[in-house]
Structure 1
Amino acid sequence: MHIELRFFASVREALGLAGERIELPEGVATVGAVREHLIARGGPWAGALGHERALRMAFNHVMCGPETAVKEGGEVAFFPPVTGG
């Protein structure tokens, strides 16, 4: 299954890229599993997407939780929580 990834704000800065298209390995079927797959790349991926970081996630432009299923051609986005003042 192929999906589009999008990274915003500090996640984009840490990774040095705004997005990419990837093919998911068998068994990676949820947004949370996509995050785990990317963390396993190590290095900046583990730092930017690690569980110690508060992150928001979206699938196809809709905020979601890690249990949300991904579908062929979909878009998964990662970004830090937004705060205001």
Structure 2
Amino acid sequence: MLTGANGNDNPFATAANICAAKIRKDNGGHDRPLDVRDDMTLQAMAENPDYNTTSLSFVPRNSKTRIPGGIRNINID
């Protein structure tokens, strides 16, 4: 998914399922919704059934959960 603009010719559904498989592997075999809220183009594709043909679950754009990998405030005393 990250290389889509650099020549990845996989359709969105295929690329998203590859990412979902990696998430399952990293998450002990458990499913977790795809979180692409930090990229509005990918978010729009996930929401559009013409692109998300496999109905892969995703985090809605209006979700209040923290985006993974974001900057977190850490207080060290």
TM-score (ref. length: structure 1): 0.30
More strand by share: 1
Which has the higher relative contact order, 1 or 2, with Cα contacts under 8 A spaced 6 or more apart? Answer: 1
Task: Please tell me whether Structure 1 or Structure 2 has the larger radius of gyration of its CA atoms.
Answer: 2
More helix by share: 2
